[in-house]
Amino acid sequence: MRITIIGTGYVGLVTGVCLAEIGHKVFLHDINQEKIKLLKSKKIPIHENGLLKLFKKHLEAKNLRIESDPNEALQASNIYFICVGTPQLRNGKPNLRYLFDISNKIKDYIDKNKLNNNTFIVLKSTIPPGTTKELQTKIFKKDIYKNVYLGSNPEFLREGNAVYDFMNSERIVIGSESKEFIRTIKKLYSPLSKKSKIFITDPQSSELIKYGSNAFLATKISFINEMSKLSDKVGGNIDDVSQGIGMDKRIGNEFLNAGLGYGGSCFPKDTRGLAYTFSKNKIPSKIIQSVIDINNKQRKYFFNKILKRFSKQELKSKSVLFLGTAFKPNTDDIRESVGIYLINMISPMVKNILIFEPIAKENSINALSKLNNVRFQKTSISKIDYDCDFMIIATEYPEFIKIPHKNLKKLKDRVVFDGRNILNREKLEKNGIEYIGIGK
């Protein structure tokens, strides 16, 4: 099938490349000409496992084409995947401007060309419940645009694992009032139907599934983070608590790791978006607001552990080794990264900060360029300079767990603040290192 992807950010790019991989002919379009130029030069703007290889493969095989002209992009197919950003306004309200802009462009294109063949508009962008319906009533009025079919088809891709997730998704959710839409989009995904269950529902429920999934996972994280404070107080080990709770299959142990809290471009935005949707509908939602509040406080709780261990006077002369600025491992994304937040908080209080970040270094250098006591290490975790007064871990990179023995020796008599609870207290203490984790 021929498919046009509108918006080549992280979601659009992964979706487009993976749709080409399952046998479709895909046209990628973006209003950002810089991005188009980059894609045309066979480069991609994000770091995502396996994506570049597939992107090049399908460009060369001509299953993927980059379209800079909006009319040509719309002409190329009759299935439009809308993957534009829905950034947030101050009050948590998602900004749907780009979504409405492109919908109006599609409408104008249909009007101008007097099209009356079937057109399918697939909404991939994360949108508040009711948005598909709103587009239908405000732009693609059913009595006028009889052959334009709309539906919601949210993504459940984790950054860093997005290609794998697309190919091996547990569920593909399609929410539409139109049988024609459901039939077509189901066919489009049929190469994945052996691995993924295709779940059909109405658009509002589909939109709620997306918000609900992210908010539920965020709730698990905030729950275990709240428990970690109690564990600190009574002298428990939150890792064991989490493991013990998660052994109950009804609960499961994923997203139960206590630490600095969640960051990134999805959980913070979607929990705020859901809280906004509750309040817009005049339904008080204590759970979601608490999840957000606990997450915001968790990083301060950790910061206070540093302030408890060292006085402000002592901190002034301290050199810090800081591991991890990406919001999670294996991505170059630093949006709402707790690591970046902490560096901004700590930098004015200490002598200097030496940072090691394996993947998101370039973005982090730009984000922290105003801090003049911050430096980045160039090499790998086994070769970095461990000379510091204390160390902080802010991202759960697996390689940080395996700090070589010879380097642990260099940390003797130092303090390690483990914001992701990934290191082993006993091992560190055996090497004369003081260990401070969260809830253990």
199 lies in the binding site for ligand UGA (CB under 6 A): no
Q: Which of 29, 47, 124, 328 binds ligand UGA (CB under 6 A)?
A: 328
Determine, following the binding rule CB under 6 A, whether residue 155 of this chain makes contact with ligand UGA: yes
Nearby residues of 55 by Cβ (< 8 Å), 6 or more positions away: 13, 17, 42, 44, 64
Answer for which of 21, 48, 159, 226 binds ligand UGA (CB under 6 A) is 159
Nearest approach, Cβ of 267 to ligand UGA (angstroms)?
A: 5
Write the interaction track for ligand UGA spanning residues 105-144; mark x where CB under 6 A is met and - where it is not: ---------------------x------------------
Minimum distance between the CB of residue 5 and ligand UGA, rounded to whole angstroms? 16
Nearer to ligand UGA, 217 or 367 (CB): 217
- Decide if residue 303 touches ligand UGA (CB under 6 A): no
Task: Give the Å distances, CA to CA, from 325 to 4, 197, 235, 333, 363.
Answer: 35, 36, 29, 9, 9
Nearer of residues 59 and 266 to ligand UGA, judged by Cβ: 266
Query: Which ranges of 338-393 would DSSP assign to H, the alpha helix?
Result: 338-346, 361-367
Phi and psi angles of residue 339, each rounded to the nearest 5 degrees, phi first: -60, -50
Active site residue 18: no
221-260 positions binding ligand UGA, by CB under 6 A: 221, 255-257, 259
Q: Which residues contact 12 (CB under 8 A, 6 or more apart)?
A: 5, 6, 28, 30, 81, 83, 84, 124
Burial (CB count <10 Å: 0-12, 13-18, 19+), residue 331: buried
Q: Which of 105, 158, 300, 305 binds ligand UGA (CB under 6 A)?
A: 158
Cα separation, 270 vs 214, in Å, equals 7
Q: In this structure, are residues 382 and 356 in contact, taking their beta carbons and an 8 Å threshold?
A: no
Query: Residue 60 carries which side chain, given as an amino acid letter?
Result: E
Q: Does 419 sit near ligand UGA (CB under 6 A)?
A: no
Q: Using the rule CB under 6 A, is 264 a contact of ligand UGA?
A: yes
Give the helix/strand (H/E) hosting 190: none
Residues of this chain that interact with ligand UGA (CB under 6 A) are: 126, 155-159, 214, 217, 221, 255-257, 259, 261-264, 266-267, 327-328
Catalytic (active-site) positions: 266
